[in-house]
Structure 1
Amino acid sequence: MDQEKPQDHPQFRLPDPALVTRTMSEVAERGQRIVTDFLRRQADAEAVPDPLNIGGAFLDMTARLMANPARLMQAQLGFWQDYLTLWQNTARRIMGETPAPVIAEDPRDRRFKDDAWRENEVFDFIKQSYLLSARYFQTVVGSVEGLEPKAAQKVDFYTRQFVDAMSPSNFLLTNPEVLRRTAETGGENLLKGLSHLLADLERGKGRLRIRMTDDSKFKVGQNIAVTPGKVVYQNDLMQLIQYAPSTGTVLKRPLLILPPWINKFYILDLRPRNSFIRWAVEQGHTVFVVSWVNPDEHLARKGFDDYMQEGIYDALTAIEQATGETEVNAIGYCLGGTLLATTLAHMAARGDTRIATATFFVTMTDFEEAGELGVFIDEEQLHCLEEQMQKRGYLEGREMATTFNMLRANDLIWSFVVNNYLLGQEPFPFDLLYWNDDSTRMPARMHSFYLRRMYQQNDLVKPGAIELLGERIDLRKIRIPCYLISTREDHIAPWKSTYRATQIYGGPVRFVLAASGHIAGVVNPPDSGKYSHWVNEQLPPDPEAWFQGATELSGSWWPDWQRWVTAQGRDQVPARIPGDGKLVPIEDAPGRYVQVMTTD
């Protein structure tokens, strides 16, 4: 009988020899160039042994853990009992029984969506073994008593980073989907994945910069950020865009939107179907949006006070010149909202009433419980970060993006490792991920002030603790109507922290909680039919009490905001065309500032 050849097997084929030769030749040439370039750039860099200050936290945790051996022994005993049950259940499954799992994955965990993780005994064992180990690690770490809160938070965060990295879904030999693809393609998926890996290393100049989407499918101003408008004003820090009306009449008060400068403004103008800016124009607002500059070393000395003056105050002056109006409705998103609240307190101190209402998208003003971003903010890390910023004059955009991605590592890191490198697939074109990868820099002086005075010291919530532009800031002096939208699964601005502002502002406040997270919960147009929101007219001090008394409503919160803002002022005027006022348009929206991409 002839021996069966591998290529005769219907589910296995050998890779194309020409593809292998070509790929390996490219690997050798590109790999050598990447390594040489990386080493050259590292030659003059100062070595930092533990820039994240992880070692000290884990040493403290270990010492306290060993001081209570009985608790550790109890955790180990429970782990081994569960593991023994898993072995027994696996043997029973092989014999044809269907025992209940010892531990089940979260139904929302997309790492184990392939049916083989449940239907195949081997992969089910691998999955449950991993889940038991993950639970053991996190239980042991979480049970340590006496740790300083910041150290405990850091240990918990990096333990979860380790646990996520060790998932069997991240490795070739323990991922059934990858094994199946490898057999079907004769290993070409791994060759393509290797090519993707080298391309990402080249993009990051020796550091891995994972491509999350097919960025060739997007162009700012062509198929995203396409709402018609004009840049009507600009200074060193921002361009001010006035959007063209789509209604015959508009609300008398213009709408000023202040996005965060940690990211670019077009998160609110991705595509026509999910553009908040286009939707607001269609609701009869004269919309102005600040498009922040992507700063370089020449703007290193720009501070938070400069963002107040050249951002909000200059925008208000420009809007009056463009429309003749002295009152506006204002929206601040995330850090843009923190800037808005700070400026409103400054305006209150000076009797400036040009902002009639304020809306805050997922905005923190009380940073006492800042969520997992607090892991990255302690004295050692801030000192290291400030040294780096002083050398360059800014914080590299990629460093900030990596921090945010770590907050959702399974979704924003490991899923792409599997897709791009193990499955060898091209990333799917997704507008939100294109925006997420379009990172921005932070001026050194501003960013140091923001991290120290707000995140580390929580001075913004302390009356008079911060002085800017000659006035001491007291958020309690804000007495205009305020609308606060937060999101239930926010990893960046936890909703219970953002809720604290309801107890600070002195005027009427409406708080609404949306489902989903920091971006998807905000960018949720009514036509999508996705994500509910909660409302409650009462504002008890405890956010959990607010939620218990809240009513859940289906769909987007956008119409609720529109009803609220029009109730504050319904007067209408003829639609305003950019350029009809005293400001001469400079260029078409979205303008030049947003086109500048970081190259670090």
Structure 2
Amino acid sequence: MATIAERSQRIVSDWLRRQAATRAEGGAGAGQDGRVELDPLNIGGAFLEMTARLMANPAALMQAQIGFWQDYMTLWQNTARRMMGMESEPVIDAAGDRRFKDEAWHDNEVFDFIKQSYLLSARFVQDVVRQVDGLDQRTAQKVDFYSRQFVDAMSPSNFLLTNPEVLRRTAETGGENLLKGLNNMLGDLERGRGKLSIKMTDMEAFRFGENIAVTPGKVVYQNELMQLIQYTPTTAKVLRRPLLIGPPWINKFYILDLRPKNSFVRWAVSQGHTVFVISWVNPDERLAEKGFDDYMHQGYLAALDAIERITGEREVNAIGYCLGGTLLACTLAYMAAKGDDRIKAATFFVTMMDFEQAGELAVFIDEEQLTALEEKMQRRGYLEGAEMATTFNMLRANDLIWSFVVNNYLMGNEPFPFDLLYWNADSTRMPARMHSFYLRQMYQQNRLREQGGITLSDVPIDLGRVRTPAYFLSTREDHIAPWRSTYRGTQLLGGPKRFVLAASGHIAGVVNPPGGKYSHWINTDLPSSADEWLAGATEMSGSWWPDWHRWVTGFNKDEVPARDPAAGPLPVIEDAPGSYVRVKSTD
């Protein structure tokens, strides 16, 4: 207890000192007059407008309240019946909600009442905010999103006295779980320097090249923005066309080489591809002025030059993942304008080119928030990786925030070693100039879809000029790049296209190997409507990986002797996964 008190005092003192410095310097989170901004996300204005609209139609609000109280009275009556030993049906069901998986939430009348009253209240709040008339789409989306954040935060599972599992653990351990939980919370506050940086996994349990990112290879080229990894072949012969993979620089590349059993990199190597992967740098203030065009020139284009020098092959197949796919589309349009046809087949993993339906990330892209973000980035030279990670975690708050609050702080458990969550916590920074361009030109103004809407290195970008065969892989439950939005890319690029929809989400649906549990849908037609495409699609069991391999090798199946990265014309810099991937945002 003395240690806890000492640590708590130190954390509070450090936090107060930083707040004083922020106000004095007009730093992050402070306005031009030095005052700390109380609403940097511009939530208050959205809810004020919603309230005004509600008050303008009191009859609708009164009707919703009457329905809510009727449900509540039914719940009271059913609970009383259960307490008298009589059977009663639940007013609202929590089937599939992992927050209420403990049997006491159903078997105990008190906890069942708490659970159902919460679910009724949550439904009432969300129904009211979703049925407000007259709100523009962005304001309505923001109100709905933050209402859900509030509702999720207020779940009875998140509190000691209303969580039966936590109460049971507290009784069993004599409260030791709460002391351990407090220690865990203090550790998270210390690591976050006063901000709560929730530990999702054992960050000491994983080592690059030992139990993650273990596919053998060599770093064969590097510049200030990326390292290029060539992987060691496992077949006597390989396909003539090398395969270049461009991951997003919002996250690190090894999501495609996490474990041997679900490593897309390892699998592609085993299928005879000479695999090259771009490993982006984790930038700091020295790269603040790097723009989107720099990532194109020093990323894909530099990689193409290096691959030609190494293999002697001018023609390649390319894959872009998420933001890496958006950059790949831009690069293809740039190359089309320059008469460069080195990329013969392009694959887009969960990639948006039309940002009109950008999903819940659009909540964070209004003028007020962008201005505040740009001011912060200009002071630092970059966007801090932890801030972006928090944004993504909010999209799945129950899974990526509140479940760990319960496990770490209330139950007093140490987080389980999990490689996917290690990758998720291994965040990266964003250069100020690049990130501002990306958010404004694409997310806010949606100019990439327009002919010449954006310009890179003095070249107007026109996706319609791209004639490269394209394979689109999207995922049905994607909360970052909604599949109906990614589908629109098929209507923007020229040339032959194939669209495949995988089950699950932004990560799990992509890294789903043969033998994996998720299915996929195919439809060779590409109507203008995504829903029309799905209506005509056929569900196929298992992974989409073999379908992609058949597609990409359908353009060229020529083989050559295996290419050893250690024997190429460029000197080996170091073993895979290289040094760039090891740089932490906290370094």
- Tell me, yes or no, whether TM beats 0.5: yes
Aligned equivalent of 1:101:
90
1:65 corresponds to: 54
Greater shift after overlay, 575-584 or 353-362?
Answer: 575-584
Cα deviation digits, residues 220-247 of structure 1 (max 9, x gap): 2221011100000000100000000000
2:536 maps to 1:559: no
CA distance in 1, matches of 2:37, 2:108: 46
The answer to whether residue 533 in structure 2 is matched with residue 550 in structure 1 is no
For residue 302 of structure 1, give the secondary structure of its aligned residue in structure 2.
coil
Alignment pair present for 1:424 and 2:401: no
In the TM superposition, structure 1's runs of 4+ consecutive aligned residues that sit over 4 Å from their partners are: none
| Equivalence for 2:17 | 40
* Aligned equivalents of 1:108, 1:361: Cα separation in 2: 29
- Give secondary structure in 2 for the equivalent of 1:367: coil
1: CA distance, partners of 2:322 / 2:16: 38
1:164 equivalent among 152, 157, 168: 152
Separation (CA, whole Å) in 2 of partners of 1:246 and 1:43: 58
Task: Say whether 1:568 aligns with 2:555.
Answer: yes
Q: Which residue of 2 aligns with 1:4?
A: none
User: Secondary structure of the residue that 1:483 maps to in structure 2?
Assistant: strand
1:318 aligns to 2:295 (yes or no): no
Corresponding residue SS for 2:229? strand
CA drift of 1:559 comes to: 1.0
Q: Distance in 2 between matches of 1:532 and 1:581?
A: 39
CA distance in 2, matches of 1:26, 1:330: 54
Task: Return the offset for 1:269.
Answer: 0.6
Cα deviation, residue 579, structure 1: 3.3
Whether the 8 Å contact between 1:294 and 1:441 is mirrored in structure 2 is yes
Shift of 1:435: 0.3
Q: Hey, what does 2:68 align to over in structure 1? A: 79
Task: Note the 1:402-413 alignment, pairs <5 A.
Answer: 402-413=390-401
**What is the CA–CA distance in structure 1 between the aligned matches of 2:234 and 2:368, rounded to whole Å?**
52
Residues 251 and 284 of structure 1 are in contact (CA less than 8 Å); yes or no, is this contact kept in structure 2?
Answer: yes
Structure 1: how far apart are the matches of 2:12 and 2:576?
Answer: 41
Q: Aligned residue for 1:365?
A: 353
- C-alpha distance in 1 between matches for 2:270 and 2:403: 37
Q: What's the counterpart of residue 446 of structure 2?
A: 458
Q: CA deviation at 1:160?
A: 0.2
In the TM superposition, 1:1-400 aligns within 5 A as 24-45=1-22, 46=30, 47-105=36-94, 107-400=95-388
In 2, distance between residues paired with 1:313 and 1:502? 23
2-structure distance, mates of 1:276, 1:212: 24
Letter in 2 for 1:498: T
The one-letter amino acid paired with 1:79 is F
Displacement of 1:149 in angstroms is 1.1
SS in 1 for 2:526: coil
| Matched AA of 2:569 | K
How far 1:555 sits from its partner (Å)? Answer: 1.2
Counterpart of 1:167 in structure 2: which amino acid? S
Residue 42 of structure 1, CA deviation = 2.3
- Aligned to 2:403, the other structure's residue is in SS state helix
Contact kept, 8 Å, 1:492 with 1:518, in 2: the verdict is: yes
Q: CA deviation at 1:470?
A: 2.2
Deviation at 1:39, TM superposition (A): 2.1
3-state SS in 2 of match to 1:215:
coil
Structure 1 CA distance, aligned partners of 2:464 and 2:104? 57
Alignment counterpart, residue 485 of structure 1, candidates 473, 493, 498: 473
Equivalent residue number for residue 577 of structure 2: 590
Query: TM-score of the superposition, structure 1-length normalised?
Result: 0.95
* Structure 1 residue 78: Cα displacement: 0.1
Q: Is 1:580 the equivalent of 2:557?
A: no
Say if 1:230 and 1:243, in contact at 8 Å, map to a contact too. Answer: yes
**Structure 1 residues 32-41 or 280-289, which shifts more?**
32-41
Local SS of the residue matching 2:279: strand
Task: Please give the alpha-carbon distance, in whole angstroms, between the structure 1 residues aligned to 2:18 and 2:586.
Answer: 15
Contact 1:34 1:202 in 2 (8 A): yes
Counterpart AA for 2:316: V
| Aligned equivalents of 2:350, 2:507: Cα separation in 1 | 9
Task: State the superposition RMSD in angstroms.
Answer: 0.8
TM-score w.r.t. structure 2 length?
Answer: 0.97
Q: 3-state DSSP class of the match of 1:507?
A: coil
| Distance of 1:399 and 1:481 partners within structure 2 | 37
C-alpha distance in 1 between matches for 2:432 and 2:470: 31
Shift, 1:44, TM fit: 2.2
SS of equivalent residue, structure 1 residue 421:
helix
Q: Is the 8 A contact 1:322 1:579 kept in 2?
A: no
Give the distance between the partners of 1:147 and 1:517, measured in 2 at CA: 30
Counterparts of 1:269 and 1:335, CA distance in 2: 18
Instruction: Give the drift of 1:214.
Output: 1.1
Report the CA distance between 1:108 and its aligned residue: 2.5
Q: Does 1:495 align with 2:472?
A: no
**SS of match in other structure, 2:348:** strand
| Contact 1:360/1:483 (<8 A) preserved | yes
How many residues are matched? 575
Q: Percent identity?
A: 75
Q: Which residue identity does 1:63 align to in structure 2?
A: A
Stretch moving more, 216-225 or 332-341: 216-225
Would you say the 8 A contact 1:324–1:581 is kept in 2?
no
- Other structure's SS at 1:291 match: strand
Greater shift after overlay, 549-558 or 159-168? 549-558
1:541 corresponds to which of 521, 524, 528: 528
Alignment check: 8 A CA contact 1:540 1:546 kept: yes
Question: What CA deviation, in whole Å up to 9, does each residue of 1:418-467 have, x standing for no partner?
Answer: 00000011111110000000000000000000000000000000001111
The structural deviation recorded for 1:163 is 0.3
Superposition deviation, residue 478 in structure 1: 1.1
The one-letter code of the counterpart of 1:43 is A
Structure-1 separation of matches of 2:38 and 2:105: 40
Alpha-carbon deviation of 1:504? Answer: 1.2
Whether contact under 8 Å (1:224, 1:270) holds in the other structure is: yes
State the Cα distance separating 1:33 from its structure 2 match. Answer: 1.6
Contact 1:232 1:585 in 2 (8 A): yes
The CA deviation string for residues 449-506 of structure 1, in whole angstroms up to 9 with x for no partner, is 0000000000000001111112110011111111000001100000000000111111
